[in-house]
């Protein structure tokens, strides 16, 4: 039993010593490492921050696209209601006009009342038709805005992919001391920044 405890104790000491040695080696710069290796951590940090921003922005764009879609549905419903009101007034007016034409037993007062009702129904129709058209335009505008948000989200998705590839290449460069991996990682990071800048600038210009 004591031998087992001693063995476990020695194993723990070995593990602790190995971890301490590894940390010490990481803390001390390797004189054989190329000069560019010191920029790997900076590149990784910048791309990680950019990836975090892109994730948050993509979520915001998704929520905005959902909002625009809901507004489009609401506008479509209101347009349908306005158009239904227009059709209902048209039917009622046609019934009143039929009564005025077909009936010869109407008193002057009844004829006056029906004529006034017909005029009121016909006067309401242009407003209902205009309201339906306006709501349809609003629906199309909301759909267009939602589509723009989704397109921006897709572009930022490509930027996020480029940033993640840059992080992976930076890690490979640090492990293998391969300058080509670092250079390509930098290029992917620049590409991610350019795509992000393009999306943000285009969105600003549209709403300006």
**Is 48 contained in some domain?**
yes
**Is 7 contained in some domain?**
no
What is the SS3 assignment for 208? coil
In this prediction the pTM is: 0.70
Residue 24 confidence (pLDDT):
36
- Express each pLDDT in 83-117 by its tens digit: 999 999 899 888 888 888 766 677 788 888 888 88
Residue-range definition of the domain harbouring residue 120: 37-203
Residues 96, 118 contacting (CB under 8 angstroms): yes
The count of domains in the chain is: 1
**Is 10 contained in some domain?**
no
């Amino acid at each position: 039993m004591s031998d087992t405890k001693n063995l476990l104790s020695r194993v723990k000491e070995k593990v602790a010593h190995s971890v301490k040695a590894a940390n010490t080696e990481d803390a001390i710069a390797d004189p054989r490492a190329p000069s560019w290796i010191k920029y790997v951590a900076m590149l990784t940090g910048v791309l990680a921050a950019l990836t975090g921003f892109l994730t948050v922005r993509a979520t915001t764009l998704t929520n905005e696209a959902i909002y625009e879609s809901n507004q489009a549905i609401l506008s479509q419903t209101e347009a349908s209601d306005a158009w239904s009101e227009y059709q209902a007034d048209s039917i009622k007016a046609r019934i009143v006009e039929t009564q005025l034409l077909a009936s010869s037993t109407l008193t002057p007062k009844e004829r006056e009342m029906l004529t006034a009702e017909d005029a009121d129904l016909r006067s309401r129709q242009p407003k209902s038709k205009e309201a339906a058209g306006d709501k349809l335009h609003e629906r199309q505008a909301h759909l267009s805005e939602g589509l723009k948000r989704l397109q921006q989200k897709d572009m930022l998705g490509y930027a996020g992919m480029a940033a993640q590839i840059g992080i992976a290449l930076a890690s490979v460069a640090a492990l293998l001391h391969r300058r080509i991996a670092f250079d390509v990682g930098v290029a992917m990071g620049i590409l991610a920044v350019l795509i992000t800048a393009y999306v943000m600038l285009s969105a600003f210009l549209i709403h300006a």
